Amino acid sequence: MKTFVPKPAEHDRKWYVIDASGKVLGRLASEIAKRIRGKDSPLFTPYFDLGSSVVVINAEKVKLTGKKSKMKQYYWHTGYPGGLRSVGFEKLIATYPERVIQKAVRGMLPKNRLGRKLNKRLFVYAGEKHPHLAQKPEAFDI
């Protein structure tokens, strides 16, 4: 018996469009990460990129449960001494709503070359319109 190993060139990629209106951020991000990684496919292989592309619309309408919308902070460091910066969820969703979903999904992908490659197949838009109609994405609801 030989072990079957799928070839990435033979795999046909799907496109999904997800409407984030009223969805909880963490549950939405885990489903998106699963689709991008390819874990919904029977051909899933941990070291190959066999996932799909995901388009997320209405990113500004995503929500958090409980008091998290007031308490959640996003941190980063500028690289300079004393350069720790932070911004709250409410301010980030008001200014850059796409980044909230991008950061949540990025945290659920592998932290290596494969994860950086997979992250390029996430497309997040604040409104209803997106430029990926030519790919004929399937509507996917969580």
Specify the pLDDT at position 110.
Answer: 97
User: Taking the model in full, what pTM does it have?
Assistant: 0.93
CATH classification of the domain holding 48: 3.90.1180.10
Question: For residue 133, is it within any domain?
Answer: yes
pLDDT at res. 8: 82
Task: Return the structure tokens found at 108.
Answer: 């659920």
For residue 25, the SS3 value is: helix
Could you tell me if residue 99 is inside a domain?
yes
pLDDT at 53: 97
pLDDT mean for each 10 residues of the chain (142 residues): 87 94 97 96 91 96 96 97 98 97 98 97 96 95 85
Phi first, then psi: what are they for 23, rounded to 5°?
Answer: -85, 150
How far apart CA 94 and CA 82 sit, in angstroms, is 26
pLDDT of residue 10: 84
Residues 6+ apart with CB under 8 A from 117: 49
Owning domain of residue 124? 15-64+95-139
82 within domain boundaries: no
- Total domains present in the chain: 1
Q: In degrees to the nearest 10, what's the CA dihedral of 15, 25, 142, 131?
A: -30
Q: Which amino acid is at 86?
A: S
Of 35, 43, 56, nearest to 109 by C-alpha is 35
H/E element holding 114?
Answer: helix 113-119
